[in-house]
Amino acid sequence: MVTGGARSGKSRFAGLTASKAKASVYYIATCIPQDEEMMARVEHHRQNRPSNWITLEEAVDPARVIEQYDRAGSVFILDCLTLLVSNWLLSGEISNCPEEILARVKRLAETASNAQALVIIVTNEVGWGIVPADQLSRNYRDVLGRANQIIASYADEVYLMVSGLALEIRSLAVNKGV
């Protein structure tokens, strides 16, 4: 798991980690671009990925994609959990059911943990700022915080990115089993 604030270097670190593995890399993109600025961001990410990486756009069920393509010696980068949770919250299908969202996160965590491949999940820490003014934003912050805890509890390694620097925090944690 790679977590941190916006523009902290999470995706870059995940990519460097995947590249070091000298394996087939599957990049699972969860973004559904809604405007021109987001489309430009997606295109920038796409252009910066190595040409031999396989990009799989999956905005709803990345666990299925991992199960489908899983094999020893491969690497998956899921970029990112933050947008995946947003997709679920805004879908209307399960938007009013945080427990269903968290059940999907648990399934993703279990799938990643049981995979033969290395799975790197990128996410954001969104709860470090001010309390959001509206209920949807507060719900999102709360659900994502709980989702991050679930992913971290299954992850062998958890990296916190700050100003482009990676700090491995699982080994420092007092409550490693939580």
- Residue 166 phi/psi, 5-degree rounding, is -100, 130
Q: Which residue has the tokens 């590249």?
A: 19
Residues present in the chain in total? 178
**Active site residue: 5, 23, 45, 141, which one?**
45
Catalytic status, residue 44: no
> Contact, 123 vs 102, CB < 8 A?
no
3-state secondary structure of 155: coil
3-state secondary structure of 151: helix
β-pairing verdict for 2-4 and 24-29: unpaired
C-alpha separations of 83 from 23, 56, 115, 126, 165 in Å? 26, 15, 22, 12, 22
- Residue 91 phi/psi, 5-degree rounding, is -70, -25
Q: How far is the C-alpha of 33 from the C-alpha of 23, rounded, in Å?
A: 29
The H or E element that residue 57 is part of is strand 54-57
Question: Among all residues, which ones are annotated catalytic?
Answer: 45
